[in-house]
Amino acid sequence: MSSDERRRAPRVPVKVPVKLRPTEGSTPYMLSAESVNLSGTGVLFSIDAKLKVGTTIDLTFTMPTEVAGAMPMKVRCTARIVRVDEPPGGSGKVGVAAHIERFETIVADA
């Protein structure tokens, strides 16, 4: 693995809706974002909210077949923000990279 490529899993460019909430503090509602790319160990998403590096977040989204394999699956993840890319001029969506620390498949009720 080169020094330029530190990821353990390849990222797949895919846009899916993402719901998230910081686990610290008292954010009682979910924030909406959109993925830019996904892997089994990380996600890059764009969002209108300001988030800080080091923040732990809960994410919910559907992992597409390009990443999941045989079929798409709805997942709930705990992730830590590792990078925040502010847009030029300070207006517009913020790019947020997060490392997935834990995830579980959400099984629908029968």
Residue 45: band (very low, low, confident or very high) from pLDDT cuts 50, 70, 90: very high
Q: Is residue 6, in this structure, part of any structural domain at all?
A: no
Number of structural domains the chain divides into: 1
Helices (H), the chain: 65-68
Which pLDDT does position 69 carry in this prediction?
72
Domain of 74, in residue numbers: 12-105
- Check if the beta carbon of residue 65 is closer than 8 Å to that of residue 78: no
Model confidence pLDDT, tens digit, residues 50-80: 899 999 999 999 888 777 677 788 999 999 9
Q: pLDDT band for 40, please (50, 70, 90 cuts).
A: confident
Q: Would you say residue 88 lies in a domain?
A: yes
> In this structure, what CATH number is given to the domain that contains residue 99?
2.40.10.220
| Dihedral sign, Cα of residue 40, residue 68, residue 63, residue 46 | positive
Mean pLDDT over the full length of the chain: 84
Q: Residue 45: name the closest of 102, 98, 101, 100 by CA.
A: 98
The reply to whether 79 falls in a domain is yes
Q: What is the pLDDT of residue 2?
A: 40
5 occurs within a structural domain: no
Closest CA to 96 of 29, 28, 31, 27: 31
Predicted TM-score (pTM) of the model is 0.82
